[in-house]
Amino acid sequence: MTGPVAVVRAALRLLVRSPGPAFLAAGAAALVNAVPDVLRHLPVWSSPSLAAALAVDLVGFLTGLAAQLWVTGAVAALPDGGGLRPRGALGRGAGLAWRAVRTAPSAVAAGVVVGGGISALITVPVSVAALGAEHVLGPLDTPAAGAFAVATVSDVVATWGTLPILALVLVLAARAAGARAGGSSDPGTGQ
């Protein structure tokens, strides 16, 4: 497998062949991530401050990153026909992601673009319709609870649908790097 497009295609084929475990892990991570995702908005609910909106977005990025790393580690055995490995998944996922970013940054970038594009197609129209464009890209400024709930559900659905894509890209890119270097088949654990 060479090149970023080949890695993304291989990840999508693997996702089609093994959707259950990948989407199960992503669903668990999306639901757990929804709690801090909602809570991070409460302190700045009525704040018109752009700085507060950026701080909330930074927290959201960090919790989303933790979810992504956990799913990556949980699905690390799927290319070999294995099942989910939730125990130790965060550390394993961090190791896989680190190796993938160092050795195949273009594949990682391609995975981010594909996953991000799909996520945007799911969340942006729904969030804009519910909250208004000025509140999607800026401060919330006291949105209606129903509108916020609609936007939150679209975020959970997008997270569930896209976490497995980048996770499998990271796994496959890291494994390919390990194979090229004659290293371990699971760079996240050294086994």
What's the pLDDT at 41? Answer: 75
Number of domains in the chain: 1
188 in a domain, yes or no?
no
191 in a domain, yes or no?
no
Q: State the residue range of the domain holding 173.
A: 4-180
119 in a domain, yes or no?
yes
144 in a domain, yes or no?
yes
What's the pLDDT at 148? Answer: 84
Burial profile 115-145: b = 16 or more Cβ within 10 angstroms, e = fewer: beeebeebbeebbeebbeeebbeebbbebee
141 in a domain, yes or no?
yes
143 in a domain, yes or no?
yes
What's the pLDDT at 189? Answer: 43
185 in a domain, yes or no?
no
164 in a domain, yes or no?
yes
90 sits in which H/E element: helix 89-103
Q: Mind listing the pLDDT tens digit of every residue in the chain (191 residues)?
A: 679 999 999 999 999 998 999 999 999 999 998 888 788 777 777 776 778 778 888 888 899 999 999 999 999 999 999 999 999 999 999 999 999 999 999 999 999 999 999 999 998 999 889 888 877 766 667 778 888 889 889 989 999 999 999 999 999 999 987 666 655 555 444 44
